[in-house]
Every structure is written in C-alpha cells, then in structure tokens.
Amino acid sequence: MRTETVPGNYRYAILAALAGIILIFLRSSSCYYFFTAFLVLFVIEKWWGRLNYLPLLLVIAVSPVIGYLVYIWSFPIRLKLSELAAKSLQLVGMNVAATGNVIMMDGNTFSVDPACIGLKLVITSLVLGIVIIGYFEKKSSVALPLWKTSLLLVLILFGAVLSNFVRLLMLIIFHILPENFMHDVVGLLSLATYVLLPFYFLVRFLFRKRLSTKNASKQLPLPNSIHIPLAAKLVLGSLLLLQIVNGPQFLEEAVENSSSIEGIILDGFQKEITSNGVLKLQSEEALIYIKPPVQFFEGSHDPRICWKGSGYTFSSVEIDSVGGKSIYTATLTKDADKIYTAWWYENDADQTPHEWNWRWQTLKGAAGYYMVNVNCTDPVVLQKWVTRKIF
C-alpha cells in the first residue's frame, strides 16, 4: 500500500546491499531471497511512491525462513495439541489415548501432521491477515504503526493454533478420517470461524477507534511522473550487478564442511561422505546419517525435510527416552517400505532433540552439534543403535 506520492528513501537499498555483501561470504538461499525482495521494494518505492510496512511483512510471511520455522518448530506444538486433545476428551468420558502426534479412538487413528498446524495454514493465515489490515488501511487512509501490525499478526499465529485444536476435536468426535472430504471442509470452517472472522472484527474495531481520535489524511492521487535522481539509478545498477555476481553460487550443490566427520568410523559399517558433505554409515542392520555442525542461524538438514524430499511420509512422531537419550522417533512410509527412524543433536558435552536448544547453546558459544539420524527396519534394532556410542 502506497502512503505517500513522493519517492521513498534508500532504506530498502541499504538492506539489499547488506544482504548482498553477506552473500559474498556466506551462501544462503534465504538471504538471496531477501536480497531480491528488498531490491524489488526499493524499485517500487522509488518509481511509484513510499510504501507502508505491509509489503515488508508480506515478504517476511512468505519467506523460506518462515516456512522452515513453521515446519520444524511446530512439531512440539503438534505433540502438545495431541496430548491436550486426548485429555480434553477423556474428561467427558471418551476412550481416547495419545501417543506422540497420533490419537487413537475406537480403532481409528488421527494424526496431527504438518498439514494441520503447518506451512499452508499458518502462511495462509498470515497472508490473509495482511490483506485484511491492508483493506482497512486503504479504506480509511490511515496506516497502523509497525509494532501494532506485528502484534496483530502474532495474534493470527495463536488463532491458528486454537483453530487446529478445535478442528482436531471435531475430527475425533465425529470420526472424520483424512479420506473424507469433510476433513478439509472442517479445516476451512475452523480457519474462518476461529481466525479470520475474529481478526476481521478486531482490526475493524482498532481502525474505528483510531479514526475517532485522529483525523485521517486523504490519499493524494499519484502524479503522472516521479523524478528519479541519478543517484537512485546508480544504486539500482550496483544492486543488480551484485545480484548477478551472487547468483551463480546457487547453481552448484551446497557442500558442508566434512572435515569434522571424516574421522568417524563404526565397525561393520560401510562409510561414505555424500556429495553434500553428510556422513553415511550403512550396514545390514542400520543406516546412519551424521551431519556436520552448522552455525545457529543455518539449516540443519533436518530428517523431517530430507526424508520428505525422498518421498517418505512421517507418522507416529514423538519424543522418547532411550538409554538415557532424549530423542525424536517416527515411522517412515513410502509405498511398501517402512522404516523406523530416530534423530537428535549431539556434541561432546550435551545431547538434545530440540531444535531451539542446540541453536541457543551454539549461540552462547557451545561446541557445534552434530545431527545424528538412525534408521532401521526393526524398532528393536533401532533402540540398540540409538544407545550405541558413536562419537
């Protein structure tokens, strides 16, 4: 949304330049995304008029960073939702039990999967929330401050969690299985009822209150042309050149620093370092992947993403304690294949299954954490190798 009919300043050019300089020293597809987005916002502001903060928030909402955070970090929320749903139904006398992200009732299982509280729902909620705010800003010619808009979008996230909790209860109570078309209908109704409608009326109330205390300024018509100074054109040319320079690095496959895993050996296992720098140990009993430590802000080759990319589906995900280790366990299925998998993060002094934990410890200066992923076709054998000392 344009707020002024004069060219914007160089704020997005500065952000784009910073992202471009970082890319020279650090390969990051997310950073390249933001570099491109800031470049586009700079062009729009200089050629069309100064923008409010909604386009920036939209860029963040649909960014790969948000997608990664929602998919990975929503796992603990899904586990808690399963537990709360089971306990809530038990209070009214229903025979319900929860194991990890799976709820069992009368021989039927209901899984709180990424499709439930995950990428599609959260990002859709955020985008529609931004559209609703933009509608009222356009209608009233008044823009909310950044902190208030951000707070409203945080409320959207809480609404999405509540929506999925109610949806899960309805699916269980009425025995609506995934193959039933009502499974998606219930999800859409929950999204509209518990997220979008309350959010719409809340935003309308805020704008009415704001208009009652502040005179809205009428939006001026866009002039026929905006003079673009030579300096802006030179900045744009420099940013485009920086983008071209940084682009070719993404045509090559990313390779991790494999020096930290080259010395790891397990008796009876064939050893291989894959093309992207991950240690692969394979025997007749188990397949183990060990991924080198990364910085706290980098992606960790999470198996929930890597295995999904290979066509496998995760189910029965839970946090378990095996041999004194707190780990994630799950079942992988692909056609007739069934694999039992476990994963965790570990360094020489600590072990944790939690994404936020190892990132926080690394930020505080702890030694790098290895990602360990053990896979077996037999759950008993899996427990054996989970307890095995690898490092």
Looking at per-residue pLDDT, the higher value among 289 and 66 belongs to 289
Q: Is residue 237 part of a domain?
A: no
Average pLDDT over residues 19-46: 89
Q: From CA 102, how far away is CA 99, in angstroms rounded?
A: 5
**Residue 297 sits in the same domain as residue 356:** yes
**Tokens coding 281:** 């140990």
Range with top average pLDDT, 19-23, 302-306, 332-336: 19-23
56 shares its domain with 194: yes
pLDDT at position 211: 67
Based on the fold, state whether residues 170 and 311 are members of the same structural domain. no
From 194, 221, 248, give the residue that closes a domain.
221
Q: Whole-angstrom Cα distance, residue 134 to residue 324?
A: 52
Q: Quote the pLDDT of residue 67.
A: 78
pLDDT of residue 190: 87
| 279 and 148 fall within a common domain | no
For the segment 195-226, what is each residue's pLDDT rounded down to a tens digit? Answer: 999 999 999 998 887 766 654 444 434 444 55
Q: CA 300 to CA 75: how far, in whole Å?
A: 15
The Cα–Cα gap between 290 and 303 comes to 11
CATH number at residue 332: 3.40.1000
Q: What is the pLDDT of residue 257?
A: 63
Which of 198, 221, 244 represents a domain boundary (last residue)? 221
Same domain, 171 and 264: no
pLDDT (0 to 100) of residue 8: 66
Domain span at residue 150? Answer: 50-78+117-221
**In-domain check, residue 23:** no
Residue 302 has pLDDT above 80, yes or no: no
User: pLDDT > 70: what percent of the chain?
Assistant: 84
Which whole number is the average pLDDT over 12-24? Answer: 92
Is the same domain home to 68 and 152? yes
- Measured distance CA(231)–CA(234) in Å, rounded: 5
| pLDDT per position as a tens digit, 131-169 | 999 999 888 888 888 899 999 999 998 898 888 888 888
231-262 confidence digits (pLDDT tens): 888 988 999 898 888 888 777 665 556 677 87
How many separate domains does the chain show?
2
Counting residues of the chain whose pLDDT is more than 90, the rounded percentage is: 24
In angstroms, the CA 372 to CA 391 distance is 10
Which pLDDT value is given to residue 112? 61
Residues 191 and 59 grouped into a single domain:
yes
CB 134 within 8 A of CB 143: no
Tens digit of each residue's pLDDT (9 = 90 or more) over 172-182: 888 787 677 88
The set of residues, in sequence order, having a beta carbon less than 8 Å from that of 174 and lying 6+ positions away, is: none
Alpha carbon distance 192, 132 (integer Å): 13
User: Which of 201-215, 265-279, 369-383 reaches the highest mean pLDDT?
Assistant: 369-383
**Is residue 99 situated within a structural domain?**
no
Look at residue 160 in the predicted model and tell me its pLDDT. Answer: 86
Averaged pLDDT of the chain: 82
Determine how β-strand 96-99 pairs with β-strand 102-105.
Answer: antiparallel
Check residues 184 and 189 and name the one with the higher pLDDT. 189
Chosen domain end from 167, 194, 221 = 221
In a domain, 38, yes or no: no
pTM: 0.72
Residue 180 is assigned to a structural domain of this protein: yes
- Cα–Cα dist 154/202, whole Å: 13
Name the more confident of 309 and 165: 165
pLDDT at 254: 58
In a domain, 198, yes or no: yes
Residue 309 vs residue 185, higher pLDDT: 185
- In the prediction, which pLDDT does 223 show? 45
Asked if residue 360 and residue 279 are part of one domain, the reply reads yes
227 in any annotated domain: no
* Residues 59 and 192 reside in one and the same domain: yes
Given this model, what pLDDT does residue 82 score?
79
SS (H, E, C) the chain: CECCCCCCCCHHHHHHHHHHHHHHHCCCHHHHHHHHHHHHHHHHHHHCCCECCHHHHHHHHCCHHHHHHHHHHCHHHHHHHHHHHHHHHHHCCCCEEEECCEEEECCEEEECCCCCCCHHHHHHHHHHHHHHHHHHHHHHCCCCCHHHHHHHHHHHHHHHHHHHHHHHHHHHHCCCCCCCCHHHHHHHHHHHHHHHHHHHHHHHHHHHHHHHHCCCCCCCCCCCCCCCCHHHHHHHHHHHHHHHHHHHHHHCCCCCCHHHCCCCCCCCCEEEECCCCCEEEECCCCEEEEECCCCCCCCCCCHHHHHHHCCCEEEEEEEEEECCEEEEEEEEEECCEEEEEEEEEECCCCEECCHHHHHHHHHCCCCCCEEEEEEECCHHHHHHHHCCCCC
Residues 171 and 275 in one domain: no
d(CA 59, CA 49): 18
Same domain, 311 and 368: yes
Higher pLDDT, 220 or 98: 98
pLDDT at 220: 39
Shared domain for 127 and 172, answered yes or no, is: yes
Q: Which of 301, 192, 174, 219 is nearest to 52 (CA)?
A: 219
- CA dihedral angle for residue 97, residue 102, residue 105, residue 107, rounded to 10 degrees: -120
pLDDT of residue 1: 54
Least-confidence region, from 13-22, 146-155, 275-284:
275-284
Evaluate whether residue 146 is within a structural domain: yes
Mean pLDDT computed over 270-294: 88
